[in-house]
Amino acid sequence: MKHYLKPHEWLIVEEGFDAHHHRISESIFSLGNGRMGQRANFEETYSGDSHQGTYVAGIYYPDKTRVGWWKNGYPEYFAKVLNAPDWIGIKIKIGKHEVDLNRCKVTGFKRTLDMKKGILYRSFTATLPDGKKVVVNTQRFCSMADGEIGAIRYSITPVNFSAQATITLPVNADVVNKDSNYDEKFWNEVSQEAKAGIALVTAETKKTFFQVTTAMSYSIETAGKTVKGKVKASKKEKYADNTVTIGLKKGVETVIYKYAAVLSSENHSKKKIQDQAKKKLKNITTKGYEKLANEHISVWSDIWKKCDITIEGDSAAQQGIRFNIFQLMQTYTGDDERLNIGPKGFTGEKYGGSTYWDTEAYCLPFYLGTTNPRVARNLLVYRYKHLPKAIENARKLGFKDGAAFYPFVTMNGEECHNEWEITFEEIHRTSAMAYAMRDYIDYTGDKNYWTEHGLEVLIGIARFWAQRVNWSKDKNQYVILGVTGPNEYENNVNNNWYTNYLGAWTLRFTMQAIDFVKNNSPEKYKSLVAKLRFNENTETEQWKDISAKMYYPQDQTRGVYLQQDGFLDKELIHAKDLKPEDRPLNQKWSWDRILRSCFIKQADVLQCMYLFEDDFTLDQIKRNFDFYEPMTVHESSLSPCVHAILASKLGYNEKAYEMYLRTSRLDLDDYNNDTEDGCHITSMAGTWMSVVKGFGGMRVRDGVLQLSPFIPDQWQSYSFRLEFKNRVLKVIVSKGKTDVLLESGEPLEIVLNEKVVKL
Ligand code: BGC
């Protein structure tokens, strides 16, 4: 764990420059706006260790699979959101030396992320090797008001000299993905252009042929007056810039404003993309930094009005939750149904920026609770559009007749993960799509989603399960063999309880959807039956049989469900008895030792109890929690939040609080020693759930919102807002009291602490 960031309600603050923390800070201080984003790299040259990263949503490259031993059924490629052309550079040379924090003496360094405004600030004093001292103050944002633009205000003031300086303002498409499988560069150049005042590069991805035009313009002011300086425009392959020579005067501030327009062929025709980028650039340069910044800040202000969570009496917890909400909102805005939420968002390259089951299992409730239902619906439609590929994925693995197997990792619907234990075995993910539909319908009441898109998806998934189970003569029940459950520290197990439960539930849920569509839109149902060649009688008979005769491993003596067949053969030890030098297991132990041990990476049996809590008694949940949690090492970021929610339900308040802190400050405190790879964006939605579903006890049952809050001892009060059925509610919980305010919308009945109240 690291504690170098100062707790603050709205700010993330790093004081003093420590190069060892730089990659971690580059992740934490990242910026984005749903369409593009970037790690918090420095504008000026930095020759020290850094991971330069700029990303454009939806622009990916199918990097040819690299595995030690090929297995039939492996996907040909792993899709990667590309490290995209970089526009932030402001390279300053004074005499022979560059401003480079790796080569200068740095004092007074401060990096601040203002989450209220979405602006990244930096200030420092740098002494160059020849003794010249400059004070630098920077600001930067990716506009939430217009996803295609970004801007920088870079101020430099000489402290002890006057001299000529050259300022180079590049756009650079000569960039690489750190995780490239074959050290390949993924961009080809289409064109570059550089003339006084403007530089742009259009680059095209190899194989996928997406084009991105990145254009920059700038203005420079000294003591508040525009200076033109001597300008040299130059270009080379994949690169264009302007170098401006100006005089810096001792004690006088020079401000460089750099504007960027980043347009992709996903939203513009390739023929017009350069012209449109230039037009946009002209408009934003005329508008100027202050106006653009104000427009951006005003979008953030609206976002915070709807989804802020306040915590009084615990600034670390307050900072943690705002950081999580901030990152989620700048990763996915929900206005484009082609986009999704990569586990690292725009903060790093691990997980390839692709879509995981994380979206459905963890992120959806966050967007349901904090934004217009359209956003969550877009996430469902994204998967609906991938249905043909899910059917193809299934076909490649030998399934037939329209069975749909959703991928573990994808950009366009095709599976692109290639570890056999996950690609072939972690099959529970296909039901996450069904569960997300249930979540959406429960929360919004929009059952028509089944009619429009949902049922078609469900029939595909149900067909997959019907073919994936097999009848065990020995058990006289259906079994599911050779799987990996959510707990990836077990592979190729039989009858993972979570997987069996989800499979059987999906079949029942699909039949419920059939009834609805058949009764409410018989015509649509008829056409779907024809389109899918759906034989309702035979297929549903089989589904009923499977769901009625599914085998669920359990231990009657302890009264617990077994994570999988044979779990009790393991040596059952508690995580607290591990030596500190053994943790994290995934970095310290061999894989085979992990597999043989009882240690659990992330909620598995408990994940299911969290998803279907009304199917179990409190005593059942308690027994399973008490049995499994002590063996859980939480080495997946997705683990603590589920435990925080269940612990809250069980009245294990201290445990709930411990788990909350762990999820909310996972990246800020670098708990798992991996924040330098990027932030854990999808688990951040779990942090939100820990407060709202955990401490707030929020549930929706039969269309009714229910709350049963408790307050951790460490807090004086907390509040959260919910967008629910065209209303905005504010819930304020203090010691011994809960207020629920209807901030907008029609009167509403809710259940508060088991009593019906009218708002
Ligand atoms: C977890 C998966 C998750 C992935 C991406 C892994 O560590 O075990 O459940 O989908 O991370 O967040």
The string of pLDDT tens digits covering residues 19-60 is 999 999 999 999 999 999 999 999 999 999 999 999 999 999
Give me the percent of the chain exceeding a pLDDT of 90: 96
In 10 A of CB 331, how many CB atoms?
27
Q: Is residue 80 a contact partner of residue 678, using CB atoms and an 8 Å limit?
A: no
371 C-alpha vs ligand 1 centroid, how far in Å?
25
> pLDDT at residue 673 above 90?
no
Closest residue by Cα to atom 6, ligand 1, is 636
By most ligand atoms within 8 Å of CB, the mutation choice from 636, 675, 687 for ligand 1 is: 636
Closest residue by Cα to atom 11, ligand 1, is 636
Strand pairing class (749-752; 704-707) = parallel
Q: Tell me which DSSP letter residue 487 carries.
A: -
Q: What is the 3-state secondary structure (H, E, C) of 609-624?
A: HHHCHHHCCHHHHHHH
Give me the pLDDT at residue 352, please: 80
By most ligand atoms within 8 Å of CB, the mutation choice from 350, 351, 356 for ligand 1 is: 356
For residue 587, with 0-12 CB atoms within 10 Å meaning exposed, 13-18 middle and 19 or more buried, which class applies?
Answer: exposed
| pLDDT 10s digits, 292-316 | 999 999 999 999 999 999 999 999 9
Cβ of 604 less than 6 Å from ligand 1: no
638 C-alpha vs ligand 1 centroid, how far in Å?
7
Q: What is the dihedral of CA 639, 643, 645, 651, to 10 degrees?
A: -170
752 C-alpha vs ligand 1 centroid, how far in Å?
34
| pLDDT 10s digits, 527-555 | 999 999 999 999 999 999 999 999 999 99
Gap between the Cα atoms of 644 and 654, Å rounded: 10
**Main-chain phi, psi angles of 357, to 5 degrees:** -65, -15
Number of H helices, E strands in the chain: 22, 32
Closest residue by Cα to atom 9, ligand 1, is 486
Q: Does domain 5-64+74-273 have CATH number 3.40.50.300?
A: no
Domain 699-759 top-level CATH class: mainly beta
> pLDDT at residue 709 above 90?
yes
Name the nearest CA neighbour of 501 among 559, 547, 446. 547
| pLDDT 10s digits, 731-750 | 999 999 999 999 999 999 99
For residue 625, with 0-12 CB atoms within 10 Å meaning exposed, 13-18 middle and 19 or more buried, which class applies?
Answer: buried
Give me the pLDDT at residue 672, please: 86
Gap between the Cα atoms of 531 and 509, Å rounded: 20
Give me the pLDDT at residue 353, please: 85
Q: At what angle do helices 455-468 and 497-520 cross, to 10 degrees?
A: 140
Active-site residue list: 488
In 10 A of CB 50, how many CB atoms?
17
> pLDDT at residue 471 above 90?
yes
| pLDDT 10s digits, 150-195 | 999 999 999 999 999 999 999 999 999 988 889 899 999 999 999 9
In 10 A of CB 325, how many CB atoms?
24
Cβ of 358 less than 6 Å from ligand 1: yes
Mark out the alpha helices in 567-652 (DSSP H runs).
Answer: 585-588, 591-596, 605-611, 618-628, 639-650
Which is the closest atom of ligand 1 to the Cα of 636?
7
611 C-alpha vs ligand 1 centroid, how far in Å?
17
Give me the pLDDT at residue 590, please: 98
Closest residue by Cα to atom 1, ligand 1, is 636
Inter-CA distances, 344 with 88, 562, 704, Å: 21, 32, 34
Which is the closest atom of ligand 1 to the Cα of 635?
7
Q: Is residue 243 a contact partner of residue 114, using CB atoms and an 8 Å limit?
A: no
Cβ of 356 less than 6 Å from ligand 1: yes
Lookup result for tokens 């089951």 = 357
Cβ of 343 less than 6 Å from ligand 1: yes
Cβ of 488 less than 6 Å from ligand 1: yes
Q: What is the mean pLDDT of residues 79-107?
A: 96
636 C-alpha vs ligand 1 centroid, how far in Å?
6
- Could you tell me how many residues make up the chain? 759
Q: List CB contacts of 283: < 8 A, sequence separation 6 or more.
A: none
Cβ of 430 less than 6 Å from ligand 1: no
Closest residue by Cα to atom 5, ligand 1, is 343
By most ligand atoms within 8 Å of CB, the mutation choice from 341, 344, 487, 488 for ligand 1 is: 488
Which is the closest atom of ligand 1 to the Cα of 683?
12
> pLDDT at residue 693 above 90?
yes
Cβ of 636 less than 6 Å from ligand 1: yes
Report the chain's mean pLDDT, rounded to a whole number. 97
Q: What is the mean pLDDT of residues 487-512?
A: 98
**Main-chain phi, psi angles of 73, to 5 degrees:** 105, -15
> pLDDT at residue 351 above 90?
no
Which is the closest atom of ligand 1 to the Cα of 426?
9
In 10 A of CB 703, how many CB atoms?
11
Gap between the Cα atoms of 363 and 681, Å rounded: 9
Which is the closest atom of ligand 1 to the Cα of 356?
10
Q: Is residue 520 a contact partner of residue 451, using CB atoms and an 8 Å limit?
A: yes
94 C-alpha vs ligand 1 centroid, how far in Å?
47
Cβ of 351 less than 6 Å from ligand 1: yes
Closest residue by Cα to atom 12, ligand 1, is 343
User: Hey, what amino acid is at 539?
Assistant: E
21 C-alpha vs ligand 1 centroid, how far in Å?
25
* Residue 740 token pair: 């629920």
Closest residue by Cα to atom 8, ligand 1, is 636
Max Cα-Cα span within the chain: 88
> pLDDT at residue 105 above 90?
yes
Give me the pLDDT at residue 582, please: 96
> pLDDT at residue 1 above 90?
no
Which is the closest atom of ligand 1 to the Cα of 357?
10
> pLDDT at residue 111 above 90?
yes
Q: What is the mean pLDDT of residues 246-275?
A: 98
Q: At what angle do helices 497-520 and 536-548 cross, to 10 degrees?
A: 150
The phi-psi region of residue 699 (left if phi > 0; otherwise alpha if psi is between -120 and 50; otherwise beta) is beta
* Residue 50 token pair: 């850094």
Task: Tell me which H or E stretch contains 172.
Answer: strand 163-172
Name the nearest CA neighbour of 404 among 396, 412, 394, 414. 394
> pLDDT at residue 706 above 90?
yes
601 C-alpha vs ligand 1 centroid, how far in Å?
10
> pLDDT at residue 522 above 90?
yes
pTM listed for this prediction:
0.96
Give me the pLDDT at residue 178, please: 87
27 C-alpha vs ligand 1 centroid, how far in Å?
18
Q: What is the dihedral of CA 363, 368, 374, 380, to 10 degrees?
A: 40
718 C-alpha vs ligand 1 centroid, how far in Å?
30
Closest residue by Cα to atom 7, ligand 1, is 636
Q: List CB contacts of 54: < 8 A, sequence separation 6 or more.
A: 36, 37, 38, 39, 83, 84, 85, 86, 87, 88, 175
By most ligand atoms within 8 Å of CB, the mutation choice from 328, 341, 344, 358 for ligand 1 is: 358
Q: What is the dihedral of CA 557, 561, 565, 569, to 10 degrees?
A: -50
CA 730 to chain centre: 25
Cβ of 682 less than 6 Å from ligand 1: yes
* Confidence grade of residue 657 (pLDDT, cut at 50, 70, 90): very high
Gap between the Cα atoms of 582 and 597, Å rounded: 13
3-class DSSP state for residue 753? coil
Cβ of 370 less than 6 Å from ligand 1: no
Q: What is the mean pLDDT of residues 673-687?
A: 95
Q: What is the mean pLDDT of residues 659-668?
A: 94
Which is the closest atom of ligand 1 to the Cα of 680?
12
683 C-alpha vs ligand 1 centroid, how far in Å?
9
User: Hey, what amino acid is at 244?
Assistant: V
Which is the closest atom of ligand 1 to the Cα of 408?
10
Q: What is the mean pLDDT of residues 563-571?
A: 98
Give me the pLDDT at residue 39, please: 98
> pLDDT at residue 241 above 90?
yes
Domain coordinates in residue numbering, the chain: 5-64+74-273, 699-759
In 10 A of CB 504, how many CB atoms?
23
Cβ of 602 less than 6 Å from ligand 1: yes
Which is the closest atom of ligand 1 to the Cα of 602?
8
Cβ of 638 less than 6 Å from ligand 1: yes
Cβ of 357 less than 6 Å from ligand 1: yes
* Residue 610 token pair: 């969290």
Name the nearest CA neighbour of 147 among 262, 316, 229. 262
Strand pairing class (36-38; 54-64) = antiparallel
3 C-alpha vs ligand 1 centroid, how far in Å?
25
